Chain A
């Protein structure tokens, strides 16, 4: 049974502080996400959306319970293994785009490829250029982030997140810094990538637009799942 779910949270709890001062960012959350899902975690700030993403993305570990991604129990990994896992399996997109300002669009996408090595320049180019073209930035590859618009920067970030062929793409409020037209374009792009590549996309958001696009909407409040809405 467990194998069919790509991401699984089992009574996952992340608490900060101890004793009286203890705050539970998420509290015994049970959640399963299937391969190829397009899911949004919604809820007011402080509801535990980002904590969920951090746990799934192997950035953080639960204080109790389990997080299983691609059959790997993340709580069994040490920090080095978690880092390696992130590099190989997870793609991240951030609210602030978080491109490295001194690197061009091309080099930003190139960045994750450098950690393992073994790829020739030509091989890298064969991997990177189609991706940049796919997100519509083939011609802007040599530009620095500050020479790109917000939407273009987020497209670079998407290309960067996908360059290692991850199975899960985590997006933390990806449209929060974009106007609605651009946001819609970005969501269309991600939806297209989701269906063509089969990459599971998990958003955290309180943007109604994102919720509208999501095929599954999980509502969180005070660290607990309050509602799961599946859509056809």
Chain B
């Protein structure tokens, strides 16, 4: 058996170029399938991430019937008093609850108008909970008293040609159907990963939105965050009774992402068919090569048969040869495919550094820059009670405190070091000083 396998491998390299070309077809097929598959995985992830992190959180709660009409109604059935929810959800490992008042409004600069989705929010809590980076914003103290801030997606800001500090008017209809308008000062322009936010959403403070739409204390929905995304799985079931008594309904991120994920599933199916076709072409290539080899070796096959090789021995020999070609192509294809994926991944997950590297703080403190998901995933991994980055981060987020006695002198030194960096002229200037020091050191 081993002898036959060895013989098959030797046969494979008899016409090395032909075998190689055949293997390349397999290689290309496998590489394409791997890369495309990973791309769809990434698409799925970004859909979920975009949904959770920039729009609808882990779950949303609204008055029954709201989710069915929210896309078409200007306001939809309102949630008059959401405070009982706070009590009811206490058992659910302290979810973060953020009320929203979503409505359809028209943004106008006096000459042009654009219909958009307006959302009233509690700005401090909301922007802290959601991943909605500003491409530009007003400094906190630049907002004059008496004006109302408005944050809008970059795609909405562009047609108006507005920047932070400019004003826009919002036209809408109150819950009673009357037309209403108010003027807002742009406090920030949002450039997020979510196309819906960027191209058609603006935010105003909840209280102002409630005034504008004459809704009193009512909101349209409450958006919630749990400590882990997977906790939403059975949430609707557990909350069923509470939601029922208040005539509410819940939508989890899984339900909300379903249509997009379904679309991706269709894409995946299409890709599978395509991949199948590619592999079929590759298989045909191998078969073709094998047929050629058979014809070239008729005399050899005859000799082997005369020596007492049964038909299955000869068939095995050729099948092994095909397998070697296929295996070769698939292995190299997998390597290339994974290398491509590896290099196309979005960069660094977690980066940590000490305080004294070029920042010139004192030792005793480390800086960590991490992707939120990467950090969240490490829950329970720490083998030390105090050196638990995930727990420390969570405490800083919720309580704003260190879990154990903080190294105050080190923190103050770090703060001073950052001040010094700014006084010196930032990273550029410091880099120049290091370079000149280097020149003095090496060249005298």
Given contacts A98-B299, A114-B3, are A92 and B14 in contact (CB under 8 A)? no
Contact between A112 and B308, CB atoms less than 8 A apart: yes
Contact between B10 and A115, CB atoms less than 8 A apart: no
User: When chains A and B are docked, how far (Å) is the Cα of A110 from the Cα of B14?
Assistant: 20
Q: A98 is contacted by which of B4, B300, B308, B309 (Cβ under 8 Å)?
A: B300
Instruction: Report which residue of B1, B3, B313 has the largest number of chain A beta carbons within 10 angstroms of its beta carbon.
Output: B3
Chain B contacts for A139, CB-based, 8 A: none
Q: A112 is contacted by which of B10, B11, B307 (Cβ under 8 Å)?
A: B307
Give B101 Cβ to nearest chain A Cβ, in Å: 79
Instruction: Judge if B348 is at the interface, Cβ distance under 8 Å.
Output: no
Contact between B10 and A98, CB atoms less than 8 A apart: no
Contact between B14 and A87, CB atoms less than 8 A apart: no
Given contacts A86-B308, A114-B3, A115-B308, are A103 and B303 in contact (CB under 8 A)? no
Contact between A115 and B306, CB atoms less than 8 A apart: no
Instruction: Judge if A88 is at the interface, Cβ distance under 8 Å.
Output: yes
Q: Which of B393-407 contact A (CB under 8 A)?
A: none
Instruction: Judge if B305 is at the interface, Cβ distance under 8 Å.
Output: yes
Instruction: Judge if A94 is at the interface, Cβ distance under 8 Å.
Output: yes
Q: B3 is contacted by which of A57, A83, A110 (Cβ under 8 Å)?
A: A110
Q: Which of B243-295 contact A (CB under 8 A)?
A: none
Contact between A115 and B309, CB atoms less than 8 A apart: yes
Instruction: Judge if B369 is at the interface, Cβ distance under 8 Å.
Output: no
Residues 101-133 of chain A: 1 if any B CB is under 8 Å from the residue's CB, otherwise 0? 111000100111011010000000000000000
Contact between A86 and B306, CB atoms less than 8 A apart: yes
Nearest neighbor of A92 in chain B, beta-carbon distance: B306
Give A27 Cβ to nearest chain B Cβ, in Å: 25
Residues 41-80 of chain A: 1 if any B CB is under 8 Å from the residue's CB, otherwise 0? 0000000000000000101000000000000000000001
Nearest neighbor of B312 in chain A, beta-carbon distance: A80
Contact between A92 and B299, CB atoms less than 8 A apart: no
Instruction: Judge if B310 is at the interface, Cβ distance under 8 Å.
Output: yes
Give A192 Cβ to nearest chain B Cβ, in Å: 23
Give A22 Cβ to nearest chain B Cβ, in Å: 25
Chain A contacts for B3, CB-based, 8 A: 107, 110-111, 114
Contact between A87 and B11, CB atoms less than 8 A apart: no
Contact between A84 and B300, CB atoms less than 8 A apart: no
Instruction: Judge if A100 is at the interface, Cβ distance under 8 Å.
Output: yes
User: When chains A and B are docked, how far (Å) is the Cα of A98 from the Cα of B303?
Assistant: 7
Given contacts A110-B3, A114-B3, are A94 and B303 in contact (CB under 8 A)? yes
Chain A contacts for B300, CB-based, 8 A: 98, 100-101
Instruction: Judge if B43 is at the interface, Cβ distance under 8 Å.
Output: no
Residues 136-179 of chain A: 1 if any B CB is under 8 Å from the residue's CB, otherwise 0? 00000000000000000000000010001000000000000000
Residues 1-16 of chain B: 1 if any A CB is under 8 Å from the residue's CB, otherwise 0? 1011001001100100
Contact between B309 and A83, CB atoms less than 8 A apart: yes
Nearest neighbor of A172 in chain B, beta-carbon distance: B306
Nearest neighbor of B12 in chain A, beta-carbon distance: A102
Chain B contacts for A80, CB-based, 8 A: 310
Residues 305-325 of chain B: 1 if any A CB is under 8 Å from the residue's CB, otherwise 0? 111111001000000000000
Instruction: Judge if A28 is at the interface, Cβ distance under 8 Å.
Output: no
Q: A114 is contacted by which of B4, B302, B306 (Cβ under 8 Å)?
A: B4
Q: B307 is contacted by which of A101, A107, A160 (Cβ under 8 Å)?
A: A160
User: When chains A and B are docked, how far (Å) is the Cα of A163 from the Cα of B110?
Assistant: 102
Chain A contacts for B299, CB-based, 8 A: 96, 98
User: When chains A and B are docked, how far (Å) is the Cα of A218 from the Cα of B3?
Assistant: 41
Give A121 Cβ to nearest chain B Cβ, in Å: 10
Chain B contacts for A84, CB-based, 8 A: 308, 310
User: When chains A and B are docked, how far (Å) is the Cα of A206 from the Cα of B254?
Assistant: 86
Chain A contacts for B307, CB-based, 8 A: 86-87, 92, 111-112, 115, 160
Give B1 Cβ to nearest chain A Cβ, in Å: 8
Contact between B306 and A59, CB atoms less than 8 A apart: yes
Nearest neighbor of A99 in chain B, beta-carbon distance: B303
Nearest neighbor of B8 in chain A, beta-carbon distance: A102
Chain A contacts for B1, CB-based, 8 A: 117
Q: Which of B1-52 contact A (CB under 8 A)?
A: 1, 3-4, 7, 10-11, 14
Contact between A103 and B7, CB atoms less than 8 A apart: yes
Nearest neighbor of A84 in chain B, beta-carbon distance: B308
Nearest neighbor of A88 in chain B, beta-carbon distance: B308
User: When chains A and B are docked, how far (Å) is the Cα of A42 from the Cα of B305?
Assistant: 25
Contact between B303 and A100, CB atoms less than 8 A apart: yes
User: When chains A and B are docked, how far (Å) is the Cα of A57 from the Cα of B4?
Assistant: 24
Nearest neighbor of B13 in chain A, beta-carbon distance: A102
Nearest neighbor of B302 in chain A, beta-carbon distance: A98
Chain B contacts for A111, CB-based, 8 A: 3, 304, 307
Nearest neighbor of B299 in chain A, beta-carbon distance: A98
Contact between B308 and A102, CB atoms less than 8 A apart: no
Residues 177-204 of chain A: 1 if any B CB is under 8 Å from the residue's CB, otherwise 0? 0000000000000000000000000000
Chain A contacts for B309, CB-based, 8 A: 83, 87, 115
User: When chains A and B are docked, how far (Å) is the Cα of A115 from the Cα of B309?
Assistant: 7
User: When chains A and B are docked, how far (Å) is the Cα of A164 from the Cα of B309?
Assistant: 13
User: When chains A and B are docked, how far (Å) is the Cα of A111 from the Cα of B300?
Assistant: 12
Contact between A87 and B10, CB atoms less than 8 A apart: no
Contact between A102 and B11, CB atoms less than 8 A apart: yes
User: When chains A and B are docked, how far (Å) is the Cα of A51 from the Cα of B348?
Assistant: 76
Chain A contacts for B10, CB-based, 8 A: 102-103
Give B16 Cβ to nearest chain A Cβ, in Å: 12
Contacts beyond the supplied A87-B307, A100-B300, A115-B310: 19 A-B pairs with Cβ under 8 Å: A57-B306, A59-B306, A83-B308, A83-B309, A84-B308, A84-B310, A86-B306, A86-B307, A87-B308, A87-B309, A96-B299, A98-B299, A100-B303, A102-B7, A102-B10, A112-B308, A114-B3, A115-B309, A115-B313
By a beta-carbon cutoff of 8 Å, the part of chain B in contact with chain A is 1, 3-4, 7, 10-11, 14, 299-300, 302-310, 313
What are 6 A-B pairs at a CB distance below 8 A? A80-B310, A84-B308, A101-B14, A101-B300, A102-B14, A115-B310
Closest 7 CB pairs of A and B: A87-B308, A102-B10, A98-B303, A114-B3, A92-B306, A112-B307, A86-B308
